[in-house]
Chain A
Amino acid sequence: MIPARLKSWILIWTPVVWLVLELVKYPKETGWNDGWVAMLKGFFDPSVASYPAWFLLGFAYIALVVGIGMLLPDVVKPKAVKKLDRWMLGVGASALVIGYLLERGWLVRWFGLDLHPSLRPMMLLSALVLGLGLLLLPLQMPTRRAGAVVPGLFVAMGIVYVVWGLSAGGLFGGEDPFSLTAAVGSHGWVYQTIAILLGAAIVWVWGSTNPERAELMVWNTRQVWKLYRANWQGMVGLYILLFFAFLALLAPFLADHARLGSTAQFGHMAFELPTFNSYYHLFGTDEQGLSILAEFIWSARISLFVGLMATAISTILGAGIGIAAGFYGGGIGEVCMRITDAFLVVPWLPLAMVMAAAWGRSYVTIILVIGVTSWPGTARVVRSDALRVRELQFIERGRAIGSSNWHIMNKHILPNVFPLIFANTILVVAIAILSESELSFLGLGDPLNFSWGTMLANAWGNGAAGLPAWWYILPPGLAIVAVVLAFTFIGTAFDEVLDPKLRKREDSGGSPGADKHTAGAIMIPSGPVGPSVLSGDAAGGEGGLI
């Protein structure tokens, strides 16, 4: 029996997720001016561009790996093959990266290593190894005993994404069937709707087969939310973030995308002062006579998107390297930490500039650049916590049981350092958004899309500071400050929610040790919170009111 609250969550959140994802791929050119019919058509238009095919096929791969992996019986998953698969992934990927670096000629130029002509077979071989490793990846999934419904739904989801990806790639009536980046019309909304409904069904089936776990998850989430809501910083941050998220998602309705292109048809003058007479003049105009309001709204998309994506890369790298360094210690740990130190001491900006210049100007480049340069902080923080966890006795027990290092890191260290990774991730978003603005300000941003950094760069380059055209500089500047502040607030709030020692409270409630463990359990989400946390906090809240 599915818990009632989880049921209502699914009913509420499924349409919300659908709407958000639809808004992401909503046609940029369709806005208020085109009328209700055109706007509704924007959601369901079969010819509207969808996500790039490589993205869809990647998603299909993940869903298929999870589904097939859960379906395959234990018999076909011997430990040796699992281990071999991990080695193939690691070796194949690293060989590809090294080969790529050599191919680009950097090492050739810097160190005089002239390996270039012999690289092709090596690249081919490592790509084959990596491909085979990826093919065997389902073997890493634990087999599911509680029925084949959930795995079946995952497989169905994967098939939907495969079909969508192939049609987005142009297989069904498109121009280039083999292009993985072409994003032509593909009845995207149909696939999207099916995929989201399948996702909701997975959660539903999971909840009804594991009612106890589902109940716990719901309960934990509510406890975290309760603690979070009591934190004013967190709430302020959340409101600011929600405001900008709405701005980004609803951009097609808030500002006509055509306003960013040509100036002629709208008849604006350069550097017009802000005025309340016209919507598009609320923030004035820029040096080309473009509406700064429109630029501002469309910039929110790129800035937030780049920030979140770069953070994802940075967190995965930082957490992985941090856990490995903390767990292994000794030689491997030292190597990991020296690499981290190297990235820390290399001046960030020049490195990022070199990389951005070498890889070309686009926001994908910016994401990669920020992702691969901002992980050392995370790695250091995670390592310090992994060092603490490593010394705990259950790690020794794990070793005494005969567990592999991989198992210990995956099942014992990661869950225990996860709250820290989570809180750190939110802080990294702020840094990533700031970094994006910096790079864009220095002229390394995406020339085809506006971001707040690009706006500032344009303002600076066109003498807005001298005029002074304050209406050109203030909106993007304040937006950056507000978003960075919002993420910092949210990060601090989560720090306090997840670490009871930082929580402000008059009476100390239960023992700090017990609180610490429950805090870990909140995040996983698996174990319920001890009563001391709740009663203590409720008491603190009341004291504050009186």
Chain B
Amino acid sequence: MSPEAASTAVAKPAAAQRIEHPGLLDVRELRAYFRLSEGDVKAVDGVSFMLEKGESLGLAGESGCGKTTAAMAILKLLPENGRIVSGEVLFDGKNLAKRTEFGMSKIRWKDISIIFQGAMNALNPVQQTGKQIAEPIILHEGKSEAEAMKRARELFDLVGINPKRVVEFPHELSGGMRQRAMIAMALACNPKLIIGDEPTTALDVMVQAQILELIGRLRKELDLSFILISHDLSVMAETCDKGVIMYAGQVVESGSTEQIFNNPQHPYTRRLISAFPNIHEKREMVNSIAGDPPNLLRPPEGCRFYPRCVEKTPDCDGAHGEPDSVEVDPGHFVRCVLVHKG
């Protein structure tokens, strides 16, 4: 990735100098708010990241930091009170943020598909699993039901389920199989990009490993781009080329997975990594991050992590404004006052 391309992550001044060759997906300064009676919840507030074809990107952060909202905003699948306020979602050079609902329905699943979190809930309990996989094929490729079911059988084979089981109902499949069926469904229309919304969260560790292995294999075979939403940094480290750490609706640190894990620059990233046990080192208590995530109705002025930060300086508070995102290494961006000082 060129430094220019990544510089879109930097705030306003950089927005003028647009690059000509965005990757497969280029999210620029995306803002998605939820309207409540008390005001707007700024769930996603100026998020930028970029994804090349065949790359995988991990979106990580605490619960409620806006990672799912950011991913769903790409497909404009926000709840009724949610809306994209500003920013661009360039997919193959087309700005999805400006598209109508009808225009989006042509993109959804055809180009970008989703692996949902709870496979039991994401499958209709009273419809055959194969039929549900055939649904998008019939819808987007105009195939007949028989052809679509044939493809569903192939997909079942691809994700490692006996193709005969397409006629079974979701409750007849095991948890791992359901998740595999969800992956098969995501692959139905040969999309360019798949968004995995915590695809392994509800599964036990063994099945989790199998599913991640499957996703990795399919990604290589089919040359897919992949966005993984997870609060589990170990999963992200294992599967992704790039990482984006979000906090309170903003990207606090982004870069390649090695940069983030070997050289974390933001205090939040450091704390997040140290909150996971390391099996290679001495056994010790894991560190939790004290305090609660801020209320996004009224996010704190200045650095959003400042109230919980153990390395805070007098420059961090609202009087000095929000810190900009700074490129510390090629492709490695950090939004922190400490980095500014050098």
Question: B-contacting residues of A (Cβ < 8 Å)?
Answer: 74, 142-143, 145, 212, 329-330, 392-394, 396-403, 407, 411-412, 415-416, 514, 517-518, 520-521, 524, 526-528, 530
Contacts and interface: CB of A to CB of B under 8 A. Distances in A.
B310 interface: no
B77 A521 contact: no
Q: Which 3 A-B pairs have the closest CB atoms?
A: A393-B121, A402-B105, A527-B169
A399 B77 contact: yes
Interface stretch (B133-141, B296-304, B322-330): B133-141
Interface string B122-144: 11111110001001100110101
Nearest to B182: A397
A495 B332 CA distance: 60
5 contacts: A394-B122, A394-B123, A400-B77, A411-B127, A526-B127
Contact of A526 (B80, B139, B142, B169): B169
B169 A402 contact: no
Give the interface residue-count category, chain B.
35 or more
B334 to A, nearest CB: 33
Contacts of A402: 104-106, 108-110, 136, 139-140
Contacts of A521: 125-126, 169, 171
Nearest to B131: A411
Contact of B124 (A74, A212, A329, A416): A416
B157 interface: no
A526 B80 CA distance: 33
A520 B126 contact: yes
A520 B109 contact: no
Contacts, number: 91
Contacts of B126: 415-416, 517, 520-521, 524, 526-527
Given A330-B80, A393-B118, A396-B77, A415 B124 contact: yes
A365 B316 CA distance: 78
Interface of B: 75, 77, 80, 104-106, 108-110, 113-114, 116-118, 121-128, 132, 135-136, 139-140, 142, 144-146, 167, 169-172, 185
For the residues of B in contact with A, the DSSP-based class is mixed
Nearest to A395: B124
A401 B108 contact: yes
Contacts of A415: 124, 126-127
Contacts of A329: 80
Contacts of B127: 411-412, 415, 526
Given A145-B146, A400-B108, A402-B108, A517 B171 contact: yes
Contact of A412 (B109, B118, B124, B185): B124
Residue of B113, B144, B171 contacting most chain A CB atoms (<10 Å): B171
Given A74-B142, A143-B144, A415-B124, 13 more contacts: A394-B132, A400-B75, A401-B139, A402-B106, A402-B140, A411-B127, A411-B135, A415-B127, A416-B125, A416-B126, A524-B126, A526-B169, A530-B171
Contacts of B169: 517, 521, 526-527
Contacts of B125: 416, 517, 520-521
Nearest to A212: B167
Contacts of A401: 108-109, 135-136, 139
Given A402-B136, A411-B127, A526-B169, A397 B122 contact: yes
Contacts of A527: 126, 169, 171-172
Contacts of A407: 139
Nearest to A144: B145
Contact of B116 (A393, A520, A526, A528): A393
Contacts of B118: 393
B171 A397 contact: no
A469 B99 CA distance: 77
A394 B142 CA distance: 22
